[in-house]
Amino acid sequence: MKNFDTVIIGAGVSGLTVARLLAQAGQRVVVLEARDRVGGRTWTERSGSFTCDRGASWIHGIDDNRLTAVVHDFGMRTVEFTVGSYQPDGRPIAYYDPAGKRLNDGAIREFADDVRNFDLHLAVSIDASEVGSTYLEAIEATLARLVWEPDRAERVREFLLHRSEEQYGVWAGDLDAHGLDDDIVDGDEVVFPDGFDQLSANLAEGIDVRLEHVVTRVARSAGRATVSSNQGEFAASNVVVTVPIGVLKSGTLAFDPPLPEWLTSAISGFEMNSFEKVFLRFPTRFWDKDVYAIRQQGDAGTWWHSWYDLTALDGVPTLLTFAAGPSAIETREWCDDRIVESVLQSLRGLYGERVVQPDQVLVTDWQSDPYSRGSYAYMKPGSTPGDHDLLATPVDGVLHFAGEATWTEDPATVTAALRSGHRAAENILGRKLQFRELADPL
Ligand SMILES: Cc1cc2nc3c(=O)[nH]c(=O)nc-3n(C[C@H](O)[C@H](O)[C@H](O)COP(=O)(O)OP(=O)(O)OC[C@H]3O[C@@H](n4cnc5c(N)ncnc54)[C@H](O)[C@@H]3O)c2cc1C
């Protein structure tokens, strides 16, 4: 049995943040990671000139965001790429109507104004919604109040459904009415041309991380805990669990004694989503110039409706689209070729014969990954935003939880992972810690 001050389970951004802050404070820490790499749901693949973030890509709003300073301190390059949060406008977007005709600037402005106007009314519906009601019910209640003519209402309804799918990877009828309360973007958004994984690589520098250590059990007694893995046992005064909600719910990680009822009940209010990325690299560009994104309205866009032009990252014509919510569930068993052909078919509806075959594709599969079981957690009907923070309440003074789902203000993000890790370190040390220290060498 190896002894430490703190054992951290999971080498994603939250786990590495706790580990780094505690190590900087002089603690003996170890991070046990099931996979053969650090980073968790920040995972960059490099193939030739293609640097591709399979997991997180965006900082969704760089203003007033602790993550912005941290990536800057680590010297990570960023490229501005706003509209990554399903905004209706703000940057040039090529909108196509249900018949495949491109909307002119005036029509786009009217539509975006409708969405903004609708959002104001939607906020009132959500405030008035009953506990356990869904985002879809709030949308329908708002539409019923506004009495817009059918086409206008339908364009906004479908936009809101797609927002729920792209932002939370879930159909609006399965999301709590408050499930998108945190959906506020402060300032521009940025992506990382050299890969988001640089963050975890920097955080892990000098930390004792044990890869391919699958944790199966955490036993706790007064002031002490023992963590069992496939490669032996580790004992410590504190244990920080950062595994995703999907792993917590899977039963593959046992707690002895079992977790208290208030905690299991809060955990059961969340679910891992269905959200996958499809990257397509083309020999030539066939789509509209000078746009950040392309959007298809109407039935033709039920599955594939938004494509993000990533060409600016390395000069190779590249589109990114998402299988999100129902489409991710439906295509889960499909092979990559079938998914790509389905996406290309939708693009042909807009660009006809100009669409060429991609010479490189990448399709993710987070739903089948045993160490994430989805991309990030959403609020099931009946849960409340405050349940996120509840998950982080220490148990018996030895067991701590961190990770994206434990942060109320901006869950489902790397920012949430970082901030939750910082909070866990503060809880363990019983004092305030500066974020800026994270980038200091160990
Ligand atoms: C496709 C996709 C797109 C995303 N897009 C964005 C985005 O653009 N912007 C954004 O901010 N966020 C985005 N996110 C969310 C973001 O990636 C996560 O919120 C964040 O990385 C979570 O960090 P974490 O430390 O909480 O969890 P994780 O990164 O999941 O870390 C937990 C670690 O625990 C390990 N683990 C699991 N089980 C065990 C076990 N039994 N024993 C030991 N180790 C175990 C896992 O392998 C993992 O490394 C995206 C995520 C995905 C998947």
Q: Helix/strand/coil (H, E, C) string of 284-353?
A: CCCCCCCCCEEEECCHHHCCCCEEEECHHHHCCCEEEEEEECHHHHHCCCCCHHHHHHHHHHHHHHHHHH
Q: Please tell me the distance between residue 14's alpha carbon and the centre of ligand 1 in angstroms.
A: 9
pLDDT for the residue 435: 84
Instruction: Report which protein residue has its CA nearest ligand 1's atom 34.
Output: 10
User: Which residue in 213, 374, 351 sits closest to 288, CA to CA?
Assistant: 351
Structural domain includes residue 408: yes
Rounded mean pLDDT of 58-73? Answer: 96
| Whole-number Å distance between alpha carbons of 137 and 128 | 11
| Whole-number Å distance between alpha carbons of 327 and 171 | 10
3-state helix, strand, coil in the chain (%, to 5): 35, 20, 40
Instruction: Report which protein residue has its CA nearest ligand 1's atom 19.
Output: 413
Q: Answer yes or no: do 295 and 190 share one domain.
A: yes
Tokens 């521009």 belong to 188
Q: Answer yes or no: do 297 and 330 share one domain.
A: yes
Instruction: Report which protein residue has its CA nearest ligand 1's atom 31.
Output: 12
Q: Provide the 8-state DSSP code for 359.
A: S
> What is the tally of structural domains in the chain?
3
Q: Answer yes or no: do 190 and 79 share one domain.
A: yes
What element of type H or E holds 265? helix 261-268
Residue 381: pLDDT band (50, 70, 90) is very high
Q: Please tell me the distance between residue 244's alpha carbon and the centre of ligand 1 in angstroms.
A: 7
CB of 301 within 8 A of CB of 146?
no
CA 203, distance to chain mean position in Å, is: 19
Task: Decide: pTM greater than 0.95.
Answer: yes
Q: How many CA atoms lie within 13 A of 233 on its CB side?
A: 9
| Best residue for ligand 1 mutational test, from 168, 250, 414 (most atoms within 8 Å of Cβ) | 414
- Mean of all residue pLDDT scores within the chain: 97
Q: Provide the 8-state DSSP code for 156.
A: H
pLDDT for the residue 49: 86
Per-residue pLDDT reduced to its tens digit, 17-64: 999 999 999 999 999 999 999 999 999 999 988 999 999 999 999 999
Per DSSP, the residues of 79-143 read: EE---TT--SSSS-EEEE-TTSPBPPHHHHHHHHHHHHHHHHHHHHHHHHPPTT-BHHHHHHHHH
Instruction: Report which protein residue has its CA nearest ligand 1's atom 50.
Output: 56
Instruction: Report which protein residue has its CA nearest ligand 1's atom 48.
Output: 40
Binding pocket residue ranges, ligand 1, CB within 6 Å: 9-15, 32-35, 40-42, 55-58, 60, 214-215, 242-244, 247, 253, 275, 277, 364, 366, 371-372, 375-376, 403-404, 412-417
pLDDT for the residue 246: 98
Residue 264: pLDDT band (50, 70, 90) is very high
Residue 133's domain spans which residues? 106-174
SS3 223: coil
Structural domain includes residue 240: yes
Q: Answer yes or no: do 264 and 277 share one domain.
A: no
Query: Which ligand 1 atom minimizes the distance to the CA of 41?
Result: 29
Instruction: Report which protein residue has its CA nearest ligand 1's atom 21.
Output: 41
Q: Answer yes or no: do 338 and 400 share one domain.
A: no
Structural domain includes residue 373: no
Per-residue pLDDT reduced to its tens digit, 186-213: 999 999 999 999 999 999 999 999 999 9
| Best residue for ligand 1 mutational test, from 186, 192, 243 (most atoms within 8 Å of Cβ) | 243
Structural domain includes residue 94: no
Per-residue pLDDT reduced to its tens digit, 398-407: 999 999 999 9
* pLDDT above 90: residue 327: yes
Q: What are phi and psi of 300, to 5 degrees?
A: -60, -20
> What is the sign, positive or negative, of the torsion defined by CA atoms of 108, 352, 285, 309?
positive
Q: Please tell me the distance between residue 195's alpha carbon and the centre of ligand 1 in angstroms.
A: 15
Q: Please tell me the distance between residue 390's alpha carbon and the centre of ligand 1 in angstroms.
A: 19
pLDDT for the residue 67: 97
Q: Please tell me the distance between residue 108's alpha carbon and the centre of ligand 1 in angstroms.
A: 35
What element of type H or E holds 56? none
Q: Answer yes or no: do 81 and 190 share one domain.
A: yes
Q: Answer yes or no: do 339 and 190 share one domain.
A: yes
Q: Answer yes or no: do 134 and 166 share one domain.
A: yes
| Whole-number Å distance between alpha carbons of 252 and 9 | 13
Query: Which ligand 1 atom minimizes the distance to the CA of 229?
Result: 42
User: The CATH number of the domain where 341 resides is what?
Assistant: 3.90.660.10
| Whole-number Å distance between alpha carbons of 239 and 120 | 43
Q: Answer yes or no: do 247 and 383 share one domain.
A: yes
Rounded mean pLDDT of 138-167? Answer: 97
Query: Which ligand 1 atom minimizes the distance to the CA of 412?
Result: 19
Q: How many CA atoms lie within 13 A of 104 on its CB side?
A: 1
Three-state DSSP string of 364-430? CCCCCCCCCCCCCEEECCCCCCCHHHHCCCCECCCEEECCHHHCCCCCCCHHHHHHHHHHHHHHHHC
| Whole-number Å distance between alpha carbons of 368 and 333 | 10
Query: Which ligand 1 atom minimizes the distance to the CA of 402?
Result: 26
Rounded mean pLDDT of 264-278? Answer: 98
| Whole-number Å distance between alpha carbons of 29 and 165 | 38
Joined together, the tokens standing for residue 156 give 């906004």
Q: How many CA atoms lie within 13 A of 231 on its CB side?
A: 10
Rounded mean pLDDT of 139-149? Answer: 96
Q: Please tell me the distance between residue 362's alpha carbon and the centre of ligand 1 in angstroms.
A: 19
Residue 222: pLDDT band (50, 70, 90) is confident
Structural domain includes residue 295: yes
Structural domain includes residue 239: yes
Instruction: Report which protein residue has its CA nearest ligand 1's atom 38.
Output: 371
Instruction: Report which protein residue has its CA nearest ligand 1's atom 20.
Output: 414
Rg of the chain, C-alpha, whole Å: 22
pLDDT for the residue 48: 87
Q: Answer yes or no: do 280 and 363 share one domain.
A: yes
| Whole-number Å distance between alpha carbons of 47 and 52 | 8
User: The CATH number of the domain where 259 resides is what?
Assistant: 3.50.50.60
Domain-ending residue, one of 348, 368, 388: 368
Tokens 């305030």 belong to 432
| Whole-number Å distance between alpha carbons of 58 and 55 | 10
Q: How far apart are the first and last CA of the chain?
A: 26
